[in-house]
Amino acid sequence: MNLKDTLVASLVPIFLGFGFVIAKPAFESFPPILLMGIRFIFAASILIWWFPIPKGYLKKIFIASFIANTLQYSITYTGLNYIDASAAVLLVQTEVPFGVIFAYFMLKEKPTVRALVGIGIAFVGVYILTGSPNLDGKFFGIGLTILGSAIWALGQVIVKPLSKEINPLALVAWLALFSGPTLIFLSTIIEGNTIDHLTTAEFNHWMIAFYIGFIMQPVTYGCFYYVLKNNPLYKVLPIVTMGIPPTGLLAAIFLLGEKPTTELFIGGTVIIFGVIMILYKKKGEV
């Protein structure tokens, strides 16, 4: 990966880790699925006008948007609503081992022995982390966050071929256009009182929605799909993945006042060590 792509990729964890954590206070005004619907409608509203309709790809984009956006964000952010952001930002690192598993079954990409060991280590870290006192009795939130990570990994396997055919920002725009209204519809059915949530939301929570919709979404995924278009996934993920935990943890500690436990730090360290084993390849390995 050249220097330009490395610098572009490094923007992703900064914006994403910060945005993931600050979304949690906004749940006081917007339930998770509704907030995600607002996020994607905002992103689509500023991007969609700049790109022509990707004829011939709409069906594939819709399928990708449902899995990678609608389903994944509904589940992941609902999980975040039930657990501390500092724990969630570490649990989502399981996206990487899940990505290896899906790549094996869907793309026939055979993992190395080191990657298999790394997967095992990462899930040992999850086990340690879930023993944290601040996660006691919160297995529903933990389960949703991990399930969301698995669906994210599946979504990226589906999105990757599209990223080679469609302009990265255009892909972000059209994925958002399909998923935003779908998420609002799901929120109305599942969470209810959509109009009340929108009309009574606090100003600072609207500012969070503006950030994740108008800034974080276009910047992070525009950068991610741009770099993914030019580089193999295994070269992109280390930069993106390794940057999210420190950014997210610092935001959770200093902005939300969370106090991560010893189990969380130990489990998080084990998860990240396992992810490093999966991602970093020796010279000559594919």
DSSP of 39-76: HHHHHHHHHGGGS---TT-HHHHHHHIIIIIIIHHHHH
- What are the CB-based long-range contacts (under 8 Å, 24+) for 61-66? 61/162, 61/166, 61/171, 61/174, 61/175, 61/178, 62/178, 63/158, 64/155, 64/158, 64/159, 64/162, 64/175, 65/174, 65/175, 65/176, 65/178, 65/179, 65/182, 66/178, 66/179, 66/182
> Tokens 């023993």 — which residue?
131
- Is residue 221 scored above 80 in pLDDT? no
Please give the Cα distance from 176 to 3 (Å, whole number). 29
- 3-class secondary-structure state, position 245: helix
pLDDT digits 0-9 by tens, 118-157: 889 988 989 998 888 888 888 999 999 999 999 988 888 8
Please give the Cα distance from 145 to 97 (Å, whole number). 14
285 within domain boundaries = no
77, burial (CB in 10 Å: exposed 0-12, middle 13-18, buried 19+): buried
* Contact of 94 with 122, CB cutoff 8 Å: yes
146 within domain boundaries = yes
At 285 the pLDDT is 53
Structure tokens at 11: 């923007």
pLDDT digits 0-9 by tens, 8-25: 888 888 888 888 899 999
11 within domain boundaries = yes
Q: What is the mean pLDDT of residues 275-281?
A: 76
201 within domain boundaries = yes
pLDDT digits 0-9 by tens, 50-70: 888 888 899 999 999 999 999
What is the number of structural domains in the chain? 1
Question: Residue 175's pLDDT band (boundaries 50, 70, 90)?
Answer: very high
Q: Give the end-to-end CA distance of the chain in Å, rounded to a whole number.
A: 15
245, 250, 251, 252: CA torsion to nearest 10: 80
Question: Residue 239's pLDDT band (boundaries 50, 70, 90)?
Answer: confident
* Contact of 214 with 43, CB cutoff 8 Å: yes
Please give the Cα distance from 35 to 180 (Å, whole number). 10
22 within domain boundaries = yes
Question: Residue 198's pLDDT band (boundaries 50, 70, 90)?
Answer: very high
Please give the Cα distance from 243 to 220 (Å, whole number). 13
Q: Which residue has the higher pLDDT, 236 or 266?
A: 266
- Mean pLDDT, the chain, integer: 87
Q: What is the mean pLDDT of residues 153-180?
A: 86
Question: Residue 182's pLDDT band (boundaries 50, 70, 90)?
Answer: very high
257 within domain boundaries = yes
**Domain residues for 61?**
3-279
286 within domain boundaries = no
Please give the Cα distance from 132 to 50 (Å, whole number). 47
pTM attached to this predicted model: 0.87
CA 216 to chain centre: 12
Q: What is the mean pLDDT of residues 216-243?
A: 76
**Side chain identity, residue 54:** P
Please give the Cα distance from 85 to 253 (Å, whole number). 9
284 within domain boundaries = no
- Provide CB contacts within 8 A for 139, sequence distance 6+: 130
